[in-house]
Structure 1
Amino acid sequence: MSLQERVHEAFLPDGALSLAAEQFHVREGQTNMALAVAEAIETGGQLVVEAGTGVGKTFSYLVPALLSGERVMISTATKALQDQLFGRDLPRLVEALALPIRMALLKGRGSYLCLHRLELARRDGHDDRGAARALAKIEQWAQATRTGDLAELPGLDERSPVIPLVTSSRENCLGAQCPKFRACHVNQARREALAADVVVVNHHLFFADLAVRESGMAELLPTVRVAVFDEAHQLNETGIQFLGVQLGSAQALDFARDVLAAGLQHARGLVDWTQLAAGVEHAARELRLVAGKQWPGTKLRWNEAVPEGLDPHQWQFALEQLQQSIEAAADGLDTVSELSPDFTRLYERAMELARRSARFALPCAPESVRWVDVGQQLRLVESPLDIADAIRTRVLQIGSGEQDGEGEGAAQAEPERRSWIFTSATLGDDARLRWFTEPCGLQEARVLRVSSPFDYARQAALYVPRDFPRPQDPSHGAQVARIAARGAQRLGGRTLVLTTTTRALRSIGEDLSRRFGAADMLSPIEVLVQGELPKRVLMDRFREGAQHGRGGCVLVATASFWEGFDAPGDALQLVVIDKLPFPPPNDPLVEARGRRLEAQGRSPFNDYFVPEAAIALKQGAGRLIRRETDRGVLVICDTRLISMGYGKRLLGAVPAMRRLENEESLDVALDELVALNAQDDSFV
């Protein structure tokens, strides 16, 4: 029996999948995707699948991958998705399919407890009570954990300042010279990954390894026959973060502090550590001062020899001083390198920082763009415009010729038979999914689009107000807050407001907080604003909604909440988008991509800005309907959708919801939801 036949059998009404999925029913799109994945595994090559919300794409790629008997790597966008796959989806399927499969979870080293750094943190002590309590909790957990994965530690805030103190980085890891090397959780995770049949990684780890060959992927990937990238729409932006070069004043300051601490601990009096550290610190601060006062988050273009608006002589002098101070520290470290492994790692950091300083003194590499991020610290960035070249030469061809040297001793998968599966709910707004395939170098891949099984016309409605301020109008934010409050008041919360800028986030959040601050306290509506609490806490509190006698919630969010936020059922019934999510036109990376399209004789607006907005709009709209039983209303507060020629194309990216023509019909749709909620409550 072929793989495709076995996969088809698993997706039958009484097949193995019915044992793994609650309330399983056959979906044609899910089965078709699974068969396409099975074919790609059998024949090799690249397959790109856009699978609409509700298709069940996770099982569509997992079932054929597991049944194939091949060695499989699955890469996800986030560590949370990794945990879901490894802790829930894979175990269910492995049991249902009755397969003797070894699974492993592999994350970046910053996700694992470093026993050596925990010991150092314990020795140093902390005056801050909160940090001391968190450290004590980690110490207790360290005695029992097998994996050292900090995600297993309940109640640990991902923003805790203690985490960097008890985890290692590539810069400060002592490697084989570490006194805790044999018990190292990172090494244990890598050993398990190399011995497993199925390994779950994440995109950040994958690209970090392409950049530095340090995460263990260099040994793993050549042995893999099937690679699946879920949430693949994030691949390009994740990849360019790691495939570029960065140099920050904060990096230099951290290096200086580490040099001083290690020098005084291991080689006091042998080198003037205070002078060396002070020299690096002074040079880093002087480089920051050259940029002067700027709005936080400002990005300075760097198309010429120096960033725009900066004095060329001051900039070049400050960059040279930084390089010289780091090289002086390297010389001092070199004289005592045999005394401690800390000095060896610090010397390597110094040489890398010096190389980066020298690189930024030279012209920008072709097909890259350079800029400076200005905040409290300064960050120099050189980035490729996309990952197409890296994917073609370093991913799809990996395992052939000389590139297999890292995997000596391991069985090498034949490169021509390797299968590469890329999937997401949002990969483009045209038949060839060019928004995704072009920047990822996958123009030759087979493309499949699988529609969502949801009945959007019945489940959801779309309202685009006609009489509304333009996005640039000062009153626009207040009107967005008004319409969101109107809906939230009727629904008892259950409202998500997605903004395109942090400025709009703050103004709309403040407006809604004022409106509901004086609300009836017997059934208050809580206004949650991104940034005020950790993301996980915000999501959990919103999902609780009006349960347990609490009032409902309005969540105002931007950036990461446009995707990956899942609130099924009646917890979320109104999504309000403030305006069309076009890329910021003054961003240096956006500008460089536009210039490249112009040089190719193409339209930056039609071939870049509109597709980017379409994808983001599809992702934001996708927060509303997550299950077949969900109901809701989407409001997009941007009249350009109905007044501009490109509006039709952007509307085509939104699921085919029924249209509401005015606020009266919006109120009727909201009241229908209220009635449905009351009806559902009567059955509880």
Structure 2
Amino acid sequence: MSNKFVVVDLETTGNLPKKGDRIIQFAAVVIENGEITERFSSLVNPQKPIPVFIEELTGINDEMVKDAPIFSEIAPKIMDLLEGAYFVAHNILFDLSFLQEELIRAGFEGFFGPVLDTVEMARILFPTSDSYKLSDLAVKENLHHDRPHQADSDAEVTAELFLILLRKLSNLPMITIRQLLPLSDGLKSDLQLFLEELLETLVDREDVLSESVEIFHGLALRKTTIKTETKHSFENQPYPDNEGAKVKFLENGMDGFEKRTGQFEMMDAVYYTFQNEKHTLIEAGTGVGKSLGYLFPAAYIAKNHNRPIVISTHTIQQQEQILKKEIPLLNKILPFNIKAILLKGRSHYINLERFYQVLQEENDNYDIILTKMQILVWLTETETGEKDELNLSSGGLLFWNKIKNDPAFSSTHQEWREWDFYLRSIQEANTADFIITNHSLLLSDIKHQGSILPNYDLVVIDEGHHLEKVAAQYFGFSLDFLSTRMLLSQFGTFDQKGLLNELEEIVRSIPVRNDTLLHPFEINQMVIDLSYEVDEFFKLLAYFAKSKKNDTNGSYRIKIRFSPLDKSKDSKAVLHSAERCTFLIKDLYNAINSWLFWINEQKSSLSDLEERKVEEIYQFLNELNELREALIHCFIRESNDVKWIEVDVRTPQNVTTFMAQPASVAANLREEFFNKKKGVVITSATLTINKSFNYLMNKLGLDPNHTLKWIIPSPFEYKRQVRMIIPDDLPDINSVTTDEYVLAIAENIITVAEATKGRMLILFTAFEMLKKTYDLIKESGFLDDYVLIAQGITGGSRTRLTRNFQRYDKAILLGTSSFWEGVDIPGEDLSCLVIVRLPFTPPDEPLTEAKCQLIEKRGGNPFYEYSLPEAVLRFKQGFGRLIRTENDRGIVVVFDKRIISSKYGKCFLNSIPPIPIKKGKIDELVRLIQSWL
């Protein structure tokens, strides 16, 4: 750390220095010998007006820079600071390119010394961080960042972050630093130069490893204890079946404990279910505390009966909360300890032997280099070896396919098997009380007849309203263009660096000749032919979809039903192409497999590297065979699955997907799951329609006569906390065009936003309407001083968009699909929820259409038996976004008048807690909003 580092941040009039954008603020923090020794910052007169959005972002306006120096006046000082230093910045290319332009314009040569990028360093040294934005890293590292987007504040925080990164780098095991060094040659910054200097300063340091790290096969790994003990004898602990006993337990273990009668009711329901080996549905309203509601009684069953209980959730967030928050709390409360293990699918775990092997290979790709460096650091920290801990780029995710745990790469070397993270998690699961997993793995285990999870017969399915949808995906098939082309390019042709080249080299290296098999050049032609046919197949799918739907109603993404019974020319063309693909795949599979069989007979001639390549080719063959099976199921074998094509009309081929799913999974789930398990608890906040579980039981195949049912209401006082308003001067949604409706709701959103001062979440049912509304509000200029955040328009994941929304006082968040549930914004950050239209699924959506046709065939009413219940469940999920704690207050605005004008509207209102409802003209309602908030 004896080097000099100058950490720089700039604020500018825009992003394009070559097109005249200029610096409006410069800041630098100088670090020497690991300490901050100097700070310099100055506003800069850009000699041009500052754009409004830059003023809003930075808080810097024309008046503030009017008397500031022009850049050439501070340029000598900047050059003096940079003399003999590393240039450091968060996203170096932006700051350095801007500074170079300004320095050259001021008559200097520019800066040509070494550079370090804190984004790049953070990606390597914080491989599990959710985000690499400066503000997010500042929160993660507890750094005070009071004025984001002002250069002096940003430079100060970047400097503090840089010092943390330097310390972490210096404290890595020496072997890890040495492995990072050659890789760093391919980075965008000069980290290699710094690592060389760092290793020189550490040359006399023995590689004293911390107690938590050990060296195995040249890799520094976090030590973990493999707990393979059998379950010890346990003295039964009586379940506290009265309220007083439960209160005593919870009071002793929880700070600020508040008694929740509903939670106790849920505990007793779950205990009774497992004790008597029943199936149970429990709808637990927001605030009941359902996680503890099922974990507490399940712990007694698991311990007293020595039976593992599977806890299945839909989302990673819920799994993390159970493992990191609820289980530690449970162990604090209970008179005994619970062992819980999080178990995921095999491909989620790293294969250390494969990683060690590919680490030796040449690096020709920035993403691969960065990912290798991330993983080297991560291995010193991870106890699970599980992919979801890592924040990988898209290229990094592709690289993961080379190093993931896969049966094709099962090690025969016992020492590597001892460091197999997947096998370790299975061993742990075999002695666990709770096995925490997700619906996908649960259903995969069902599909593979119990070969994945340890033997169990008691299960809690949290977020249970998702089970049917996930089951449909698991009992179905899908084909998409990008994955298929990626698979074929992995094997490649001679023109590409792929597995075909590796196969050809292995064949050439074996002294014995075999002229009975196809020559690799013939296999090369087979790959070319198959790639061509795959391209044609997906073009035909896209063409079929577009020809069936000329009017897309402004939607780029369309879904079109496909039936093999369709005798049209376009349909036949798709079927013939699918058949050709299956034949070509079979021929290619046999040709490659014959070579591999012959190569294995010559195994003594193979090097370790060649054996690894053979394993990789076997994995490719497995995936190729899965592709053929999917094609046969979707297009050749008869099935009752619903089949459809999804395509984006802008780039049809690249984003074309073919789906095949059963219209009903009730029979599958009943026979393969519910009839085989002794006790299943399904819970969620949204399971009932109009206080009835019948719809869900029919979907899941549950026997209503042998299923227990509980509705546990939320403890929140909704009558006191919520008001619903329904403007009645909006047009009926089905009586006007989309554009007319958007115009009307945009005006209302502007009016409501001004009354609520932002803090609004607006839920749409379609992205097209969201985008049109967003554009109209932006163009109007009425909400220019509000921060508009829109899903699919403002970049980032749902979590990032929500976090940004909470960061600003006057913010409006527009969301669709995933924002109807799983978004948790407690307190004053969210005061107003707007539901633009009742969330009915479009009737021509393939699965909806197929389900409705089945109901019609048996003489039922598709609207009341399917469309309405689905919309009500979705509405309940959306409504649940507003009130997250007992102190929250808020307004729900429903723009869709059908909730009060239609005879089915009561179904929506009867399915949420009773609340005061006010309808009227928007101007009257605005006064109510203002007085209420």
Q: Same fold (TM over 0.5)?
A: yes
**The 10-residue stretch of structure 1 (422-431 or 656-665) with the greater mean CA deviation from structure 2:** 656-665
Q: Is the 8 A contact 1:364 1:370 kept in 2?
A: no
Could you tell me which residue of structure 2 aligns to residue 271 of structure 1?
520
CA–CA distance in 2 between the matches of 1:514 and 1:18? Answer: 55
Q: How far apart are residue 634 of structure 1 and its match?
A: 0.6
CA–CA distance in 1 between the matches of 2:434 and 2:401? Answer: 26
**The 10-residue stretch of structure 1 (639-648 or 604-613) with the greater mean CA deviation from structure 2:** 639-648
CA–CA distance in 2 between the matches of 1:620 and 1:124? Answer: 50
**The 10-residue stretch of structure 1 (90-99 or 168-177) with the greater mean CA deviation from structure 2:** 168-177
Could you tell me which residue of structure 2 aligns to residue 148 of structure 1?
385
Residue 185 of structure 1, aligned match among 401, 421, 444: 421
Q: What SS is found at the alignment partner of 1:311? A: helix
Q: Is the 8 A contact 1:236 1:387 kept in 2?
A: yes
- Aligned pairs for 1:440-479 (under 5 A) are 440-444=700-704, 445-472=707-734, 473=737, 474-479=739-744
CA–CA distance in 1 between the matches of 2:293 and 2:376? Answer: 41
**The 10-residue stretch of structure 1 (633-642 or 475-484) with the greater mean CA deviation from structure 2:** 475-484
CA–CA distance in 2 between the matches of 1:343 and 1:7? Answer: 58
Change in CA separation of 1:665 and 1:380 when aligned onto 2, cut-off 3 Å: same
- Aligned pairs for 1:558-637 (under 5 A) are 558-637=816-895
Residue 125 of structure 1, aligned match among 363, 366, 375: 363
Could you tell me which residue of structure 2 aligns to residue 378 of structure 1?
656
**The 10-residue stretch of structure 1 (446-455 or 354-363) with the greater mean CA deviation from structure 2:** 354-363
Q: TM-score, normalised by structure 1?
A: 0.86
**1:250 pairs with 2:482:** yes
**The 10-residue stretch of structure 1 (356-365 or 433-442) with the greater mean CA deviation from structure 2:** 356-365
Q: Is the 8 A contact 1:210 1:243 kept in 2?
A: no
CA–CA distance in 2 between the matches of 1:76 and 1:131? Answer: 32
Q: How far apart are residue 192 of structure 1 and its match?
A: 1.7
Residue 390 of structure 1, aligned match among 662, 668, 685: 668
**1:365 pairs with 2:616:** no
RMSD: 2.8
Q: Is the 8 A contact 2:352 2:420 kept in 1?
A: yes
**The 10-residue stretch of structure 1 (533-542 or 171-180) with the greater mean CA deviation from structure 2:** 171-180
Q: How far apart are residue 193 of structure 1 and its match?
A: 1.7
Q: What SS is found at the alignment partner of 1:439? A: helix
Change in CA separation of 1:242 and 1:502 when aligned onto 2, cut-off 3 Å: same
Q: How far apart are residue 516 of structure 1 and its match?
A: 5.8
- The residue identity in structure 2 corresponding to 1:197 is D
- Aligned pairs for 1:35-184 (under 5 A) are 35-68=268-301, 69=303, 70-115=307-352, 118=355, 120=358, 123=361, 125=363, 127-128=365-366, 132-133=369-370, 135-153=372-390, 156=391, 160-167=394-401, 174-177=408-411, 181-184=417-420
CA–CA distance in 1 between the matches of 2:584 and 2:638? Answer: 23
CA–CA distance in 1 between the matches of 2:880 and 2:775? Answer: 26
Could you tell me which residue of structure 2 aligns to residue 497 of structure 1?
762
Residue 200 of structure 1, aligned match among 436, 460, 483: 436
Could you tell me which residue of structure 2 aligns to residue 262 of structure 1?
499
CA–CA distance in 1 between the matches of 2:310 and 2:389? Answer: 22
Change in CA separation of 1:494 and 1:132 when aligned onto 2, cut-off 3 Å: farther
Could you tell me which residue of structure 1 aligns to residue 615 of structure 2?
341
CA–CA distance in 2 between the matches of 1:530 and 1:291? Answer: 26
**1:351 pairs with 2:625:** yes
Q: TM-score, normalised by structure 2?
A: 0.64
- The residue identity in structure 1 corresponding to 2:440 is H
Q: Is the 8 A contact 1:513 1:527 kept in 2?
A: no
Residue 667 of structure 1, aligned match among 887, 906, 926: 926
User: Mind listing any 5+ residue stretches in structure 2 that lack a counterpart?
Assistant: 1-234, 493-497, 508-518, 547-551, 601-610, 649-653
Q: What SS is found at the alignment partner of 1:288? A: helix
Could you tell me which residue of structure 1 aligns to residue 466 of structure 2?
234
CA–CA distance in 1 between the matches of 2:770 and 2:406? Answer: 37
- Aligned pairs for 1:275-286 (under 5 A) are 275-286=525-536
Q: How far apart are residue 382 of structure 1 and its match?
A: 1.9
CA–CA distance in 2 between the matches of 1:169 and 1:427? Answer: 40
Could you tell me which residue of structure 2 aligns to residue 519 of structure 1?
784
For residues 104-162 of structure 1, give each alpha carbon's deviation from its aligned partner in whole angstroms, at most 9, with x where no partner exists: 0112345434445655378353544x675455333321233221234434xx26x6441
Q: Is the 8 A contact 1:575 1:635 kept in 2?
A: yes
CA–CA distance in 1 between the matches of 2:672 and 2:895? Answer: 43
Could you tell me which residue of structure 2 aligns to residue 319 of structure 1?
578
For residues 148-199 of structure 1, give each alpha carbon's deviation from its aligned partner in whole angstroms, at most 9, with x where no partner exists: 234434xx26x64412322569996524248765433333222222221111
Q: What SS is found at the alignment partner of 1:395? A: helix
Q: Is the 8 A contact 2:350 2:405 kept in 1?
A: no
- The residue identity in structure 1 corresponding to 2:557 is G
**Count of residues in correspondence between the two structures:** 637
CA–CA distance in 1 between the matches of 2:421 and 2:781? Answer: 48
CA–CA distance in 1 between the matches of 2:348 and 2:644? Answer: 29
**1:536 pairs with 2:795:** no
Change in CA separation of 1:202 and 1:312 when aligned onto 2, cut-off 3 Å: closer
CA–CA distance in 1 between the matches of 2:268 and 2:489? Answer: 56
Q: Is the 8 A contact 2:721 2:890 kept in 1?
A: yes
CA–CA distance in 1 between the matches of 2:715 and 2:884? Answer: 11
Change in CA separation of 1:509 and 1:518 when aligned onto 2, cut-off 3 Å: closer
- The residue identity in structure 1 corresponding to 2:709 is V
CA–CA distance in 1 between the matches of 2:637 and 2:839? Answer: 33
Change in CA separation of 1:113 and 1:196 when aligned onto 2, cut-off 3 Å: same
Q: What SS is found at the alignment partner of 1:537? A: helix
Could you tell me which residue of structure 2 aligns to residue 23 of structure 1?
256
Q: Is the 8 A contact 2:314 2:438 kept in 1?
A: yes
Could you tell me which residue of structure 1 aligns to residue 215 of structure 2?
none
Change in CA separation of 1:525 and 1:312 when aligned onto 2, cut-off 3 Å: closer
CA–CA distance in 2 between the matches of 1:141 and 1:574? Answer: 41
Could you tell me which residue of structure 2 aligns to residue 410 of structure 1?
none
Could you tell me which residue of structure 2 aligns to residue 425 of structure 1?
685
Change in CA separation of 1:220 and 1:533 when aligned onto 2, cut-off 3 Å: closer
Q: What SS is found at the alignment partner of 1:148? A: coil
% identity of equivalent residues: 25
For residues 561-618 of structure 1, give each alpha carbon's deviation from its aligned partner in whole angstroms, at most 9, with x where no partner exists: 1000000111111111110101121011111111111122210001111111110001
Could you tell me which residue of structure 2 aligns to residue 298 of structure 1?
558
CA–CA distance in 1 between the matches of 2:481 and 2:709? Answer: 44
CA–CA distance in 2 between the matches of 1:73 and 1:169? Answer: 28
**1:483 pairs with 2:748:** yes
Q: Is the 8 A contact 1:485 1:515 kept in 2?
A: no
- The residue identity in structure 2 corresponding to 1:187 is L
CA–CA distance in 2 between the matches of 1:210 and 1:171? Answer: 21
Which has the bigger relative contact order, CA under 8 A and spacing at least 6? 1
**The 10-residue stretch of structure 1 (456-465 or 203-212) with the greater mean CA deviation from structure 2:** 203-212
Change in CA separation of 1:124 and 1:596 when aligned onto 2, cut-off 3 Å: farther
Change in CA separation of 1:336 and 1:669 when aligned onto 2, cut-off 3 Å: farther
For residues 212-231 of structure 1, give each alpha carbon's deviation from its aligned partner in whole angstroms, at most 9, with x where no partner exists: 46xxx535353x24200001
Whose Rg is larger? 2
Q: Is the 8 A contact 2:309 2:458 kept in 1?
A: yes
**The 10-residue stretch of structure 1 (30-39 or 131-140) with the greater mean CA deviation from structure 2:** 131-140
CA–CA distance in 2 between the matches of 1:2 and 1:638? Answer: 56
Q: What SS is found at the alignment partner of 2:715? A: coil
Q: Is the 8 A contact 2:690 2:911 kept in 1?
A: no
Q: Is the 8 A contact 1:496 1:576 kept in 2?
A: yes
Q: Is the 8 A contact 2:271 2:297 kept in 1?
A: yes
CA–CA distance in 2 between the matches of 1:468 and 1:626? Answer: 29
Q: What SS is found at the alignment partner of 1:291? A: helix
Q: Is the 8 A contact 1:34 1:61 kept in 2?
A: yes
Change in CA separation of 1:377 and 1:18 when aligned onto 2, cut-off 3 Å: same
